Every structure is written in structure tokens, then in C-alpha cells.
Amino acid sequence: MPYENERATGDSLWRLEDNPSVKNFKGSIRVRDTQTELELPTRIYPERGRRSTKWIIGIDGSTVTKRVQNGFPKAEAALFNAAAILIDIAELSKFGGDYIPRPQQLRDLETVETMGAVLPGPNVVGMNPGEETPKKFFRSTIRQELNFRLDPQHESLLETFLALTPEDDKKLKCPIEDCDEDIFRPRSNTICACDQAEPLYPTDSLRTHERFYDNNSSEQAFTAFRMATEHLLLVNILRYFHQNKPLRWFDEIAFVMDGPLAIFGMPAWLKEHIQTDISRIHNDLIGKGHAGLLLIGIEKSGEFLDHLEELDWDSSEGARQRLPNGTTFAPTTKHVFRHIRPNPDSDKAYGEAVNYGRKILYKNNAGQHAVVMTPIVNEAGREPNGTDLIAFPRLGEALNIVDDLYTHLYRDGFIPLVRANAHAAIPLRRGQQILANLFEDNA
Ligand SMILES: [Zn+2]
């Protein structure tokens, strides 16, 4: 017997089915043929022996939108938090894969804050000049927040951003209200000819404010800021090690992003520059006889995981019975366009505008499913239908990490590791010199 509202849903669906527009729509869409045996993506066999990772640096960000009590209706702000966490693999492995933090330990998590910021939303203005409207206040806040410096001796996020993005002739619409000028991407605080009194900021070129709405939720602007900041934080940390520490440290540290190696939306243009800088670091390491960069992005949901589930379906045995444990697929652009994201075959790589990594579908040694990304660092990685192992730097080691940390990475993410107050994890807070002292004993 269905619940009351279930029946209501059923009824309205039935009425929709009868609607002529719905019938026409059904006749006009291409349906994927799921009857024939599913074509498998290219299977690859990365070398799995090497286990040299001693540390993981995990990066994980979030935003939560809250109402603001300032006397104006629908006033909102977003609490942004990015955690960069250093995990000692030897300590972590003591807990075993099924370790679940206890509630008391979870409460300790509330004190974790690596980079925290409050981003003003609709109907919230500041008290200083340049903060008179919600959008102006949002822009000036972003400019301020990117002064964040993880290590006092190292670049701020803004300095990393400027170093990644050399001066070019690309333009954006002047962010000042009523101005129709296109301006060059500002390199410092400056002004537009339209209004000499109102500042422009270098962070305006991230264009997050273009999704900021004075009279509506600004979720998209907050998300764009979070994404740009998480990836800048990653590159900032990579540059820290590359500039300050012996290159062999890279052989023993894995960098793990909670989420894909991709930047979506207004700041997506940054991805090209991030890809270039990551390749530069990786190829410098390789050129000097090191293993290169061990960097992975972990996807916890989405159509690639769904697709893997479908590939692993056995018509007589059921779910997760078709593929042997350890199966590793490198889906090509052709495969993605045919089976995951409908698109005509083309020479342009899937996700070229947003992804700085390539996706791998993986069934781990315990039969669990994972979608991981490794960075694009060479010609082989850029090749839309290429599946040479060299396109996926240190993939074997990346998959070892997925095997060892599956439960933590997929069920909990990084923040619970810190919340759990496990001695394994140390949050990298503003101004602390933890990175400098890592490997103290063998530096
Ligand atoms: Zn202007």
C-alpha cells in the first residue's frame, strides 16, 4: 500500500504521460541502446608494485549558505572552509579500512578550520567604502580572502594566481554596474575609465561575481569561488614544495583532491593555467630523475561511477559480478561520447574546457568502485583517445592509495579524518610552518 504522497506522485506522472507535448518529446529523443552487450572501455594495466607513499596531503573544501540577521529580508552569507590536511600513512593504517570516527570524535571536528571565510550574499553590505552594494562587498571580500598564506614564507593564494596567469590580452566585462566596457584582466587593484572612484581587483578576472545576484540566491557564485580557491590551494602547496624542498620529497608525498581535477563555470579558464603549471612541475621532476607528481582527484558521485556500475552488471549473477577486482579502465573520448555523455564523435577531448586530468574507472582489490583522475602532464594525456600508460602519471601508486584508503576517501572524505582527531591527520592552518618541518628527521 503506497503512502499518500507516493500515490499523488504516481497520479501526476500518469497525467503527464497523457500530455501531447510529453508524447512528442518522447518521440524526438535518441535513446541509448542498452540491449546489446555493453562495449567495455579500454582496459589498462598500470604497474602496481611500488609503495613509497609516506604522506598524503588532502584538500577538501565546502560552502554552507546561512541566513544573516541584518534586518533585511532574505539576507544570506556563505561559510567557506577549505581544509588542507597532512596524513601520515603509517599512523592511518593502524586504524584499518573500516575505522569509523565515534560521535565524540566527530564533535572535535568543529574546531577544524584551515582557510575559513564568510562570503556575503544578497542583501548584505559592508561598512567600508567599496562595500556599498552586495555585489561590491562580495568582490572586495574575495580580493581580501585570497591574501591567504598557508606558510608565512610562501606565496599567498593571490600571488599564486598571478604567477599562474601571465598578463595576456584576454578581456572581461567591467564588473562595475552600468559600465559596458570590456577591460583587460586586472593585475592589481586598479580602476576603469567608467568610474574613477570604484576599485577593480585582480580577483575580478575569476568572474565569480557574474553569478552573483542581488535578489536571488548566489549559490553559483559561492561554488565558483570554492572551486577556484581549492585548486589554487593545491597549486600553491605544489609550488611550495617545488621551490623550497628537495625534489625527492615528491617521491613520497601523494596529493589528493576531494573531487575531480576540474574547474567548472566562470573561472574554468583557470584550468589551462593550472594544467600548465602542474605539467611544468611534473616534467621538471621527471627530467631530474624523479618519479614525477603523484596527484589524484577522487570523484564520489556522478555519471562515471554510474557507468562503472552498469559495466559491472552481470545478467545472471547481478550487480558487481562481471568485472574482476583490480580492473582498470581508461575511457577514451570516443567511449565517453557514446556511452556516458551523448555527443557526436569529435577530435576535441571530452571535458577539454574544464578538466586538467583524465578519468580512470577502477574496481579495487575489495570489489569497490572508484573514479579517480590523474593530471594531464604530457602529449599522451592530451590525446583524446589515447590510453598509453604514460598519460596517467604514477597511476599504479594512485590506485594503491585508493585500495588502502577507500573507506576514508569515499565514505568520509578528509575532514572526518581530522574530526576524528586521529593522530594521523594534521590540519594545515594559516601561518603554521608544518610544511617546512615535514620530514624533519630525514631532510
Ligand atoms: Zn568600467
Q: How many CB atoms lie within 10 A of CB 325?
A: 13
Identify the pLDDT of residue 406: 78
Cα distance between residue 187 and residue 159, in whole Å: 10
Q: Ligand 1 centre and the CA of 138: distance in Å?
A: 17
Grid coordinates given for 359: 578519468
Query: Measured in angstroms, how far is the CA atom of residue 265 from the centroid of ligand 1?
Result: 23
- Indicate if the pLDDT at residue 9 is higher than 90: no
pLDDT of residue 106: 37
pLDDT recorded at residue 283: 98
End-to-end CA distance of the chain: 68
Ligand 1 mean position, distance from CA 199 (Å): 10
| Residue 3 banded pLDDT, cuts 50, 70, 90 | very low
Residue 418 is predicted with a pLDDT of 54
Residue 431: which region, alpha, beta or left (left: phi > 0; alpha: psi -120 to 50)?
Answer: left
What is the Å distance from ligand 1's center to 41 Cα? 50
What is the reported pTM?
0.88
Quick one: how many helices (H) and strands (E) in the chain? 15, 14
- Residue 222 reports pLDDT greater than 60: yes
How many whole angstroms from its chain centre is CA 51? 25
- In whole angstroms, give the CA distance from residue 110 to residue 419: 7
**336 has a pLDDT exceeding 60:** yes
Q: Are 200 and 175 in contact (CB under 8 A)?
A: yes
pLDDT band at 298 (very low <50, low <70, confident <90, very high): very high
User: 414: Cβ–Cβ under 8 A, 6 or more apart, which residues?
Assistant: 58, 59, 60, 83, 85, 87, 256, 258, 408, 425
Distance in Å, CA 197 to ligand 1 centroid:
11
Contact partners, residue 156, CB within 8 Å, separation at least 6 = 146, 147, 148, 149
Q: How far is the CA of 124 from the centre of ligand 1 (A)?
A: 23
> Distance, CA 163 to ligand 1 centroid (Å)?
25
328-330 vs 195-200, strand pairing mode: unpaired
Ligand 1 centroid to residue 175 C-alpha, Å:
7
Residue 432 Cα, ligand 1 centroid: separation in angstroms?
A: 39
Residue by residue, DSSP assigns 132-182 as SSHHHHHHHHHHHHTT--SSTTS--HHHHHHHHS---S-EEE--STT---E
Distance (angstroms) between ligand 1 centre and the Cα of 217 equals: 25
Average pLDDT over residues 293-318: 93
Average pLDDT over residues 105-111: 40
CA 385–ligand 1 middle distance (angstroms): 44
Q: What is the DSSP letter of 410?
A: I
Which pLDDT value is given to residue 343? Answer: 86
**Cα–ligand 1 centroid distance for 214 (angstroms):** 19
Is 70 exceeded by the pLDDT of residue 103? no
Top mean-pLDDT range of 14-18, 60-64, 308-312 = 308-312
C-alpha of residue 195 to centroid of ligand 1, in Å: 6
Q: What is the average pLDDT across 321-347? A: 91
Cα(165) to centroid of ligand 1, in Å? Answer: 22
Q: How far is the CA of 219 from the centre of ligand 1 (A)?
A: 25
Instruction: Give me 267's grid cell.
Output: 573561472
Distance CA 277, CA 273 (A): 6
Please name the residues in contact with 8: beta carbons below 8 A apart, sequence gap of 6 or more: none
Grid look-up 501526476 returns 12
CA–centroid distance, residue 191 to ligand 1 (Å):
8
For residue 132, the CA-to-ligand 1 centroid distance in Å is 17
Confidence of residue 441 (pLDDT cuts 50, 70, 90): very low
Rounded to an integer, the average pLDDT of 19-27 is 79
Give residue 178 CA to ligand 1 midpoint distance, Å.
8
What's the 76 CA to ligand 1 centre distance in angstroms? 27
Measure 415 CA to ligand 1 centroid, in angstroms.
41
Ramachandran assignment for 168, one of left (phi > 0), alpha (psi -120 to 50 degrees), beta (any other)? beta
Cell of 140: 572586495
Each residue's pLDDT tens digit, 256-274: 998 999 999 999 999 999 9
- Distance from Cα 188 to the centre of ligand 1, integer Å: 15
Query: For residues 427 and 229, which has the higher predicted lDDT (pLDDT)?
Result: 229
pLDDT on residue 105: 42
Distances from the Cα of 111 to the Cα of 83, 85, 418, 434, angstroms: 11, 14, 10, 18
Q: What is the pLDDT of residues 133-156, one digit of tens each?
A: 999 999 999 999 999 998 888 999
Of 296, 279, 249, the closest CA to residue 402 belongs to 296
Ligand 1 center to 173 CA (angstroms): 8
Instruction: State the distance from the centre of ligand 1 to the C-alpha of 172, rounded, in angstroms.
Output: 10
pLDDT score of 109: 40
**Mean pLDDT score across all residues of the chain:** 85
Assess whether pLDDT exceeds 60 at residue 319.
Answer: yes
Residues 361-409 have pLDDT tens digits of 999 998 999 999 999 999 999 999 999 999 999 999 999 999 888 777 7
- State the pLDDT confidence band at 88, using cuts at 50, 70 and 90: confident
pLDDT band of residue 217 (cuts 50, 70, 90) is confident
CA 224 to ligand 1 centroid distance, Å: 23
